[in-house]
Amino acid sequence: MRTAVVILNWNGRPWLERFLPTVLRNTAEQIPLRLRSGLELVVYTPETEFGGGNAFVDEFRKRASATVTRVGPQTSRAALNAVAARASRGQLVIVTVVRRVEGRGRVAIVEPFAEWIRDIALRLQPVVVAAGNPYVIGQFPNIESYMVTYSVGEAPERAAARALLGAPITGRSPVSLPGVFSRMDSTMTGGGR
């Protein structure tokens, strides 16, 4: 019997620069953001992601002005609709901080929140930033602007905020989701969808 041990170390700067962040969809051409004020920033975190999104919000606020609303699995549809009512087309940024996949390929965003994103997608054209799990797009495939980090934590969140506001985006996807994106895709570096 042969045994192979693979150690993945994402702490190396060259790997982070190669894969983080990645823009997998930008058909609405909203990345980088054109606006720097009057933005609505929604940060979705499950109960298990304590402090998730804090670094993104901190970095984002250094460069832009936004009303920040934190939501989770228990947030009511009325509260989500109130955020949507304040936003105009191109003014809504949604950050999902999800570290894991649940069960047999079910992603870890509750269906009511995913349904809200699907419902507002055409009218408001939100930019969705997936910090952690890149597969959440499977729950709202009609999103036109989609950035992923593949990892949760301060460095990837800060990199995503800087990229969203104009820093160079050089990442390519290290994974694929059939029918949605392929390994090595990126709309900002040529290729991609």
Q: How many domains does the chain have?
A: 1
Its pTM stands at 0.82
Direct distance between the N- and C-terminal alpha carbons of the chain, in angstroms, rounded to an integer: 42
For residue 3, being part of any structural domain is answered with: no
pLDDT tens digits, the chain, 193 residues: what are they? 444 444 444 455 555 555 578 787 778 888 888 888 888 999 998 877 778 889 999 999 999 999 999 999 999 999 999 999 998 877 888 888 776 555 455 557 889 999 999 999 988 999 999 888 888 888 888 888 888 887 788 888 898 999 999 888 877 777 777 677 776 666 664 333 3
* Tokens of residue 100, six digits: 């894991």
Closest CA to 130 of 35, 36, 49: 49
* 5: in domain: no
Does residue 30 fall inside a structural domain? yes
Burial category of 138 from C-beta neighbours within 10 Å (exposed 0-12, middle 13-18, buried 19 and up): middle
Structure-token pair, residue 41: 């920033």
Within a domain: 50: yes
Comparing CA positions, the residue from 77, 91, 102 lying closest to residue 34 is 91
Sheet holding 39-44, edge to edge: 22-26, 145-148, 127-132, 92-98, 39-44, 66-71
Q: Is residue 108 part of a domain?
A: yes
CATH assignment at residue 44: 3.40.50.1700
Which of 64, 59, 68 is closest to 35 using CA atoms? 64
AA letter at 63: R
- Structural domain of residue 105, as residue ranges? 13-164
Within-domain flag for 55: yes
**172 occurs within a structural domain:** no
Is residue 43 in some structural domain? yes
H-run or E-run covering 69: strand 66-71
